């Protein structure tokens, strides 16, 4: 089975974040968002735009575009797995460590 077209080429998806549940979505009201910004970030946000964006940005990059080291760590994970790239080495290392512990307990 092939991959969906939207996952085979590099692109960025901006997904709206909504509240509620999968069965009853709710719009997130500005009054419901609580941020404790202070200092320079508070000043910048006031000048630029006081509204907070309720979006999740997901960058899709084909497997072939990654370095060999990154591909190695990706190959240690299940075929469908979502993890921030900066945590990839940690997650693959932890799963490898856990797998070794389970094998020792099972065989041991």
70 in the same domain as 57: no
86 in the same domain as 49: no
**Residue range of the domain that includes 27:** 1-61
107 in the same domain as 81: yes
71 in the same domain as 53: no
8 in the same domain as 42: yes
> What is the rounded CA–CA span in Å between residue 21 and residue 5?
28
Total tally of structural domains belonging to the chain: 2
Nearest alpha carbon to residue 92 among 69, 71, 74 = 74
Tokens representing residue 108 in the block: 């041991």
pLDDT in tens, the chain (108 residues): 455 565 678 889 888 887 788 888 877 776 666 666 666 666 666 666 656 667 888 888 888 889 999 999 999 898 888 888 899 999 999 999 999 999 998 886
Alpha carbon 54 to chain centroid distance? 15
56 in the same domain as 105: no
The predicted structure's pLDDT at residue 50 = 57
Whether the Cβ atoms of residue 6 and residue 60 lie closer than 8 Å to each other: yes
83 in the same domain as 41: no
70 in the same domain as 55: no
The reported pTM is: 0.56
The predicted structure's pLDDT at residue 101 = 93
Rg of the chain, C-alpha, whole Å: 20
């Amino acid at each position: 089975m092939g991959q969906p077209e939207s996952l085979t080429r590099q692109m960025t998806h901006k997904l709206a974040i909504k509240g509620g549940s999968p069965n009853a979505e709710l719009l997130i009201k500005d009054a419901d968002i609580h941020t404790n910004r202070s200092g320079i970030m508070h000043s910048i946000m006031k000048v630029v735009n006081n509204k907070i964006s309720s979006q999740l940005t997901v960058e899709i990059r084909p497997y072939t575009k990654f370095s060999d080291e990154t591909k190695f760590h990706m190959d240690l994970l299940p075929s469908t797995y979502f993890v921030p790239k900066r945590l990839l080495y940690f997650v693959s290392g932890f799963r490898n460590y856990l797998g070794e512990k389970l094998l020792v307990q099972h065989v041991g």
